[in-house]
Structure 1
């Protein structure tokens, strides 16, 4: 009787068992994929992620940046080369108009002034003597003791002496002006902001000694691009804040440059603050808006909810419990207030502050706390 090998018997049995396992795995995989395909795709959100669309009216604003400057300011320079013998003002000190700030010692100018005064006195004395001689010759002419030619000669001498006296008077004014240039006075009432001279220092003509401003008269200096010139109307109201201070302030547009800058293509304008400003704000940056008289009406949503705002703006909204990507038209942007005026949405839309991917569009929206978005009427 022939014997059957055990190895030959086990091979078909093992193959059959492996095949059964593979079929079972395939069935399970197919069942899992089918269940996933039929599972609904949803997006989970919370009510705080959404905001309702509101319709309203806002004033049209034109944003700008500028600085605070003093209307009255002056740079005081030396008119002569001399040594400073006395300095009477320092940085931060209040001074009045015509107050003496510096005395310069210039002996040459003082000597020229004394010489000019002496020359004028001599010329005036000669002119007076010539006048008296002319008058005497006139009486003698009337009595027939001198000729007319001699009298006319006395008239010429008097006129010559008179012109010499006038010339010496002009020289005296020049010398007096040079001597007065050694006394530096304040051209306005204000506060010293810079001092560049010390006692005993030799200064040269044209050197800046002091800078002074009047802190009681300040203004806003700013510029706008040429294409926004329609916003620059005298009397327009302005809202602004000063660097380092978030308190909103008000001003009125007072002056506009008649021409645009040839390089930057911007128009310079000035505004008068309504509230009093601390002098420490001189030179500080300001940010603000020019409030135009016309108003803008439209749908108001948070500015940060708009995606691709500079190219093809759109927002994600929940419409009929579905997530939708809706293109919008941006009419006005308010960065400081995080507001935007747009068009293109429905009043029942709820705008999402959360960013999504394109594959999330049309997915159902569910809320983690089972709350629903309220309508404008409910709010």
Structure 2
């Protein structure tokens, strides 16, 4: 018994495979077209760009240039990233805005190549920054990405020309005690210039931010902050060492104007004018310009006084403005030997004055009222 089987040729298999591939491709193409047609009918879920007075104003070239001239590159980049409408308004003036941003006041000063490597090597050591020396020129090119005004004098400096921030451990030494009048006055009256009481956001920007942000000071203002801290703490150590009574007799220390003056000094709200005597020998030793003609002889302000040994000295009497005396606490006198000075100010329980940026440091009551 025989069985007949019909075998298929290889050509037939190839033809069938090609037909299957063509069918699959056609199906995929149809599915893709259907998917595209479906996506075309889906509406755009992105919100429309916000258009308001600010976006329309920044679309005007003079307004955009005026805004860019008061901010640095980082702030300009952050402004362009706020929304699509601001980005579209600023991107059309990109070239002009990048060249009109805030510039350092030392931009035109020459670079001192001799102090370039010395400045880079000593940048991490605060001892060399606080030595009070003056440098000729600048140690490097000015930066454009981070430019701000000095927190004390207002001079615009970049990050390369700003002084190095002190160590965080020295933040507690920047506090200065305020008198009762300044500590009880509204916070807005201690700002410069004086702000209205209703502008809380402006007051928050005007207070000290050395502990939360970087200490931004120019070189002339930043070189003397640590020396001022040491002098102020020496005054309190001397004051706590000598009391009001010595050997049963009153010393007069702390009476009237003989105490520690307010941290705001002549800008104190309770400041008053007093006469001050100055030795004219020290005044005459200071250099004068050719246009200055100091009165070397006796006059209305210069008085001749006979000192020890019959030596005649000249005293200059002038009127100066000094701040009111600050309160003193008995617990500070007990802990003055261990360095516990200005405890309430360091803890933040009362209002104080910053000796670095010359701005008020809010206390707990001020922060509670702001909240």
TM-score, scaled to structure 2: 0.17
Bigger radius of gyration, 1 or 2? 1
> Taking structure 1 as the reference length, what is the TM-score of the superposition?
0.17
> Larger relative CO (CA 8 A, sep 6+): 1 or 2?
1
